[in-house]
Every structure is written in structure tokens, then in C-alpha cells.
Amino acid sequence: MISYKELRVLDSNSEYYGITQLKLMESAGKGVADFVNKINSG
């Protein structure tokens, strides 16, 4: 598990490399949806 401070550093680094907060949230949401679909179809 990472701390809030570590998460903020990761977020800042992603923005530096051109990955927006919106893209991070979209990616996280897709990951959750894919996982839920996988466990519900099995």
C-alpha cells in the first residue's frame, strides 16, 4: 500500500510525462470495470 504523499508524487510525475488526471481516472475506472466483468462472467 502506498501513502497519500507517495500517491501525490506519482500523480505529479504522471502529469510531468503528459498523463492527465482525467486519463489516470479513466484508466482506473476501466481497470475496475474489467475486473468486475471478469469475476461476474466466471
pLDDT of residue 42: 72
| Cβ pair 2, 10 in contact under 8 A | yes
pLDDT of amino acid 19:
96
Q: Which residues contact 15 (CB under 8 A, 6 or more apart)?
A: 21
Percent of the chain scored above 90 by pLDDT? 98
Q: Which residue in this structure is represented by grid cell 479513466?
A: 26
Whole-angstrom Cα distance, residue 14 to residue 27?
A: 13
Q: Is the pLDDT of residue 27 over 90?
A: yes
pLDDT the model gives residue 21: 92
Judged against a pLDDT cut of 90, whether residue 34 lies above it is answered with yes
What is the model's pLDDT at position 40? 96
In the chain, which ranges are E strands?
none
Say yes or no to pLDDT of 15 above 80: yes
